Amino acid sequence: MSILINSDTRVLVQGITGEEGLYHSELMRNYGTKIVAGVTPRKGGDWVLDEKVPVFDTVQTAVKATGADVSVIFVPAKFAFDSIYEAIDSQIPLVVCITEGIPAMDMLKIKSILRTSSTIMIGPNSPGLITPGACKVGIIPGNITEPGNIGVVSRSGTLTYEVLYALKQNKLGVSTCVGIGGDAIIGSGFTDILVMFDQDPNTEKVVLIGEIGGKEEDLAADFIATEMTKPVVAYIAGRTAPKGKRMGHAGAIIEGRAGSAAQKIELFRKAGVKVAEYPEDIPALL
């Protein structure tokens, strides 16, 4: 069982003819993901991936022709707003945005549009998601995780990979791993994904990988304390980060004690969450 994606998922790649889009589309297809279409304006009629995947000028045309139900976006930041809006307007159920560096004002507009839409958005600045053995959408390596019953949700790309590999080394499998993205303004937050994992009958435990800055971890801790029915283990990156200095992601900045690793760890522990000191400690806590 999984959330959001499975072996039946039909994926459309926006920006498939670009270097990154084409490279990762091939990796996704080799993993077993059903790549059914690509979209690049003015490239409609082309074919890619051994001439087996058609390219369309618009998302709407691609969805109508192929029945795609997930879009993954690999376009440059200056085109990302239009690409995301086009996918939402085409009523695609799930949009996954890998692009980083999208202006905050663009994402504020997208958040407003999402409120009146049934589309779920993951990202931007996300590594994507993977349901091991069935489907991967984005750039998470397929060889670092195995199928199982542990849900993983993370703000950090690289730490996600480290934790997935640590779980695999300890013979612990994953139902679905979701990278929500590290920007200050994102489509789906920790709580949105925790709700899905809590309702998934075959996800038994959850790993949450957070970092300094923002309120996502605070909201997640509140949800876990009041509504979550399954055990959660967390890791918070950035314990030694200096105050007032951005560290990595756009959302990773702390002011005073608010947003600090210590504050987030305290909230999680009060919510009954076991917090790992190092990523490699997570399997033992599970």
For the chain, which residues make up each domain, given as ranges? Answer: 10-122, 141-285
**Cα dihedral 46, 49, 54, 60 sign:** negative
The CA-to-CA distance between both ends of the chain, in Å, stands at 19
The answer to whether residues 241 and 215 touch, using CB atoms and an 8 Å cutoff, is no
Could you list the residues known to form a binding site for substrate, using ranges.
Answer: 161
17: which 2 tokens? 């003819």
pLDDT at residue 281 in the model: 97
Cα angle vertex 87, ends 138, 106, to 5°?
Answer: 85
For the chain, 286 residues long, give each residue's pLDDT as a single digit of tens: 589 999 999 999 999 999 999 999 999 999 999 999 999 999 999 999 999 999 999 999 999 999 999 999 999 999 999 999 999 999 999 999 999 999 999 999 999 999 999 999 999 999 999 999 999 999 999 999 999 999 999 999 899 999 999 999 999 999 999 999 999 999 999 999 999 999 999 999 999 999 999 999 999 999 999 999 999 999 999 876 666 555 555 555 555 455 789 999 999 999 999 999 999 999 999 9
**Active-site annotation, residues:** 249
Fold classification of 141-285 is: Rossmann fold (3.40.50)
Could you list the residues known to form a binding site, using ranges.
Answer: 17-20, 43, 98-100, 161
79: which 2 tokens? 């085109």
Q: What is the pLDDT of residues 159-208, one digit of tens each?
A: 999 999 999 999 999 999 999 999 999 999 999 999 999 999 999 999 99
DSSP assignment string, 87-132: HHHTT-SEEEE------HHHHHHHHHHHTTSS-EEE-SS--EEEET
The number of CA neighbours under 13 Å toward the Cβ of 72 is 30
pLDDT at residue 248 in the model: 55
Among residues 76, 110, 91, 116, which one has the least CA distance to residue 12?
A: 91
> Given strand 205-211, what is the order of strands in its sheet?
135-138, 128-131, 174-179, 147-154, 205-211, 232-237, 274-276
> How far, CA to CA in Å, does 9 sit from each of 14, 54, 270?
16, 17, 38
Could you list the residues known to form a binding site for CoA, using ranges.
Answer: 17-20, 43, 98-100
Pairing between β-strand 53-56 and β-strand 128-131 as defined by DSSP bridges: unpaired
| CATH topology identical between 10-122 and 141-285 | yes
Exposed, middle or buried, 199 (CB in 10 Å: 0-12/13-18/19+)? exposed
Q: Where are the beta strands (DSSP E) in the chain?
A: 10-14, 34-39, 47-48, 53-56, 70-73, 94-97, 120-122, 128-131, 135-138, 147-154, 174-179, 205-211, 232-237, 274-276
What dotted CATH number matches 10-122? 3.40.50.720
The answer to whether residues 261 and 236 touch, using CB atoms and an 8 Å cutoff, is yes
Average model confidence (pLDDT) across the chain: 94
31: which 2 tokens? 């993993």
pLDDT at residue 2 in the model: 84
71: which 2 tokens? 């879009």
